[in-house]
Structure 1
Amino acid sequence: MSASSSTANLAAPSQQQEQQQRHAHLDASNSTAAGDASTSSPSNLSTREHRRNASALSSASATPAGSRPSSPTFQEIAQKAVISAVKQVDESKLDPHPDSDPDDDDDEHERERRRLAQVWAGAAPTTPYRHLFVSWPHQAIKKTFTIGVSAEDPNPPIFDMPQREVTERSAASCVLVTKHSPINATVHIIKGVRDRGDKNLGKPVTVSAKSVLGNVVLKVPEYHGSRPLHLRAKTTKGDLTVFLPASFAGLLTWKSESGTLKLSQAIQARYKRLDDRAHKHRGTAKIIPSVASGNRGDACELINKSGTITIMEAGEEKKHEGCSVM
């Protein structure tokens, strides 16, 4: 009796344990099914994406340093390209020229505006420059030039590199040189911003023409600057003809070995000889202004070996026959 009761007591706990395990298994199955249902429902899609992103981040952080990351998908590459393109468009709207300095653009615009204003104000037919040098040994120089103190230096030079000794001693210059050809040039001089109100004489404005075997015709229609105007024309074998502006006021020197000097009627009225006695082949005189130009200190030097030296006032181009020999 005691043995059977003890056996029954031992069997009872085992049956209870089996029942408990069976109930636990059923509960686990129910919870798993509920979890799958909640995951597959549309309302929990965002939660599933967050869990997937979190697992991806955790797996990426858990990847060893030496391991190779997985290659991006085509969708990820396309998304990055779209984001980069949108960012570039936004930056271009904010700054269309990111590499340019706005101050440089303003300065360039101001220089161009000033240059155009000088051209129209001075009625200059060509673009003004500060220093011009033309050296054509075997070609005639027949052009119209425009220079000005406040004009820009061309870089690179329009014709030839200006001579350093000329640019250092001149506020503006136009130098023309040829050997075996003639020169027929008209040089306009505009009144720049730096000339206004300048009471000091300062550096002069230089206009020079030189030929060896050719005639030289040099015209300066007008000049209203405050700086002195220096004109120089020279030829070995040929005639010299110079047209002075009405405002020219200063010293005139001329020299010719076998040539003669001719003056127009307007220049004769302004010509005051400074020599003690007249000389046939050289002379020094003062040209008084026909308009009020003050004591500017202009100078004109004319040299040839053989040929006629003719001095006229600007605007007398058609009165060449009325010149008198001095």
Structure 2
Amino acid sequence: MSEPHRVAFHGTVVTAPLAYAPGDLVVADPAAGADVPPGAVRATYPPRASDAAAIAELVTRERPPRLVAAGDGAALDVAKYAWTLVAEATRPDLVLAPLGAEPWRAFAPFTSLYEPDGERVSRRDPALGNVTVVIDTRALAGRTAAVRHLHRADSAVHAVEVLVGRRAGAWGRALAAAGLTALTADDPAGDITAAGLVTEAFASAGLGLAHAVASPLGALTGRTHDTINVLLAPYVVEFWGERIDWTAPASGLGVAPKASAVADRLRELRDRANVPQTLRDAGLDRSVLTSAVPRALRSSGIPWLPAPVTAEDISGLLDRAWAAP
């Protein structure tokens, strides 16, 4: 039985050039481009909870009418986390402009930041679903091909995981399928639309095995999860094989409803994003794989996978992904 869909994003989406206004407190990283106003807070990777706390202090002290974040998902999450730390009665309007990697974070009702020891700290706040997201097609057109295709591949993996999981109901599955359709538009606005649709799907339905493993590997190595997620996805599809029905994701990806066809399509998306084929090629030390296994098993999506998995299953998956023949 699926879970009921709980609407996560109920904010405003604007397709227009991002315009900064006097008094804005701006958080930006290099993906925001050169038009960032003087005095903007520069965000760096990895996003730290301490950085968010410092921004929250600035907001509390200066009382800007808007807190504007522009750039990669890390910059968005730092600003989002800071905004949740401000007293609700004095929060400014929050405006998010996804212009680089991980644009889905603009639509998510949660944040993920890192402590100095590398531990990932997540914070969920329903209020984060009621913000303004700006889709700036002119700025998005300036993204590098590698960044754009990495986002597209990551969104596709998210959608596939929703469609084969057991938690999504008809509403969540329709959103995930619509996200795959939006990716076929192959334009910058369609990319962000796809991210929003799929994020709305997985915010309620959760994700699957690729994400369960990619998240701890990213936390342990200080990397964004998207590269690892995209790298792992074909191996995960092959792990499931023909034990599950691939009709829905295959339809969205435009391939035959077979595990081999879905895996090959995800490899094509991986290669277009210049993602390595193996975890070894990606520079991950083999010793970190063992540490990721128990963390992966604690992922919220594990109970909703198409079939139960064990520590041995995940270890075997990681072995194949580390050095595939």
Bigger relative CO (Cα 8 Å, ≥ 6 apart): 2
Which has more radius of gyration? 1
TM-score normalised according to structure 2 size? 0.28
Query: 1 or 2, which has the higher helix percentage?
Result: 2
Query: 1 or 2, which has the higher strand percentage?
Result: 1
TM-score normalised according to structure 1 size? 0.28
